[in-house]
Amino acid sequence: MAANYWASTQRRHWLFTRERLAEIREGLKEKDKVAHSQFPLPDQRLLNIYFSQQLGRLGKRMSTRQQALATAQVYIKRYYTKNEIRSTNPYLVLTTAFYLACKMEECPQHIRFVVGEARGLWPEFIAPDVSKIGECEFSLISEMHSQLIVHHPYRTLSDLQPELALTSDEVALAWSVINDHYLTDLPLLYPPHVIAVMAIIVAVVFKPSSQTSSYGHPAPIAGAMREGGMNFLAALSDKGGTGPPERIQKLIAWLAESEVDIKAVIECTQELVSLYEVWEQYSEKNCKELLGRMVKSKSLEK
């Protein structure tokens, strides 16, 4: 992380309201209704799960840092607020976002290496020509107006760990909740510290059986969060009474004193719950087929 979030381009240019984001997407859809009816795609979040898994595969062989993968996911989101996904080759966008994010996060990989790996994974969709990535990189950078620094919630999490006396289990859980939030629109909707606080609350209050969620079976988390959420909301509104355990009371006291937007934190939590619910419908095969059909028929048109 560099520079100051409050003065950052992320805060000034890449933070949207839900309404604005919906408007933008509606606008993209309006422009190409035919493609939309011709190529149905799964729920955005399911696609995001697919992208994130594919990125994970790409990053794995090169032992990339998590932060670069996170940055790549944000780049993809930003790019698709400017471009309709159906007019792109998502595999190329994904590979390029990865390549650019690695440079940005100071763990650069050679372009040939990246292309080689990507071709190994998706030979049908990635051309051997490295200049394709160069070209797409240029497009990514211009669409993002060269605003490339992304502030992530991970740093806030490590900063708050001593202050809130988080156990290593809680940190690990919060960390994977942060990983999961990249599957939603949250990075475009809320500042990173709100996300970090949300992840901490999920980890401390809901304690979804200490099982990490990433790409596993998210269902228990959704359930735990539904129940825990009620208790937590009750605790927030009910100042008297018996109240929740001391540990949670402490966290609530800290939250009350901090100036973190509690309403935003709760909205993030709800977003995450619905992610875990929609996750149950996820099918890698389905995403792959729909995307494959879309990209192939597009390239035939040319």
Partner 1 sequence: MAFSPLVAPSPSATALLKKGSATGQENESQLRHSSSDREITEQLNDEVRHKYIKAKKLGEGTYAVVFLGHLRADPSSFVAIKKIKVNAEYKDGLSMDAIREVKYLQELSHPNIIALHDVFSSKDQNLNLVLEYLPRGDLEMLIKDSNIHYGVADIKAWMGMLLRGVWFCHKNFVLHRDIKPNNLLIASDGEVKLADFGLARSFADPYLNMTHQVITRWYRPPELLYGARQYSGAVDIWSVAMVFAELLLRVPFVAGNSDLDQIARICEAFGTPTEDNWPGVSKLPNYIPADANHLIPGQSRDFFLRQFPTAGAVGADLLMSMCTLDPRKRSTAYQALRHSWWATEPRPTNKEDLPRKSGGTKKMGDDLTRRGGELDDQFKHAARQLDFSAMKA
Nearest to partner 1 of 239, 302 (CB atom): 302
Q: How far is the CB of 251 from partner 1 (least distance, A)?
A: 26
Q: Tell me the C-alpha distance between 101 and 272, whole Å.
A: 25
255 vs 266: CA distance, rounded Å: 12
Helix axes 168-181, 192-201, angle to 10 degrees: 130
Question: Burial of 7 by CB count in 10 Å (0-12 exposed, 13-18 middle, 19+ buried)?
Answer: exposed
Q: What residue has token string 């107006």?
A: 145
Least distance to partner 1 from the beta carbon of 97, Å?
A: 12
Measure Cα distances from 248 to 178, 197, 270 in Å. Answer: 20, 13, 19
- Using alpha carbons, select from 57, 42, 44 the residue that is nearest to residue 289: 42
Residues at the interface with partner 1 (CB under 8 A)? 1-4, 7-9, 28, 31-32, 65, 82-84, 87-89, 92-93, 99-100, 103-104, 106-112, 124-127, 129-139, 141-143, 145-149, 295, 298-300, 302
Measured from the CB atom, the residue of 51 and 99 that comes closer to partner 1 is: 99
CB 185 within 8 A of CB 218: no
Residue 89 or 269 with smaller CB distance to partner 1:
89
Pick between residue 124 and residue 169 the one whose CB is nearest to partner 1: 124
Q: How far is the CB of 213 from partner 1 (least distance, A)?
A: 24
To partner 1, the closest distance from the beta carbon of 289 in angstroms equals 17
Q: Which residue lies nearer to partner 1 by CB, 129 or 169? A: 129
At closest approach, how far in Å is the CB of 52 from partner 1? 21
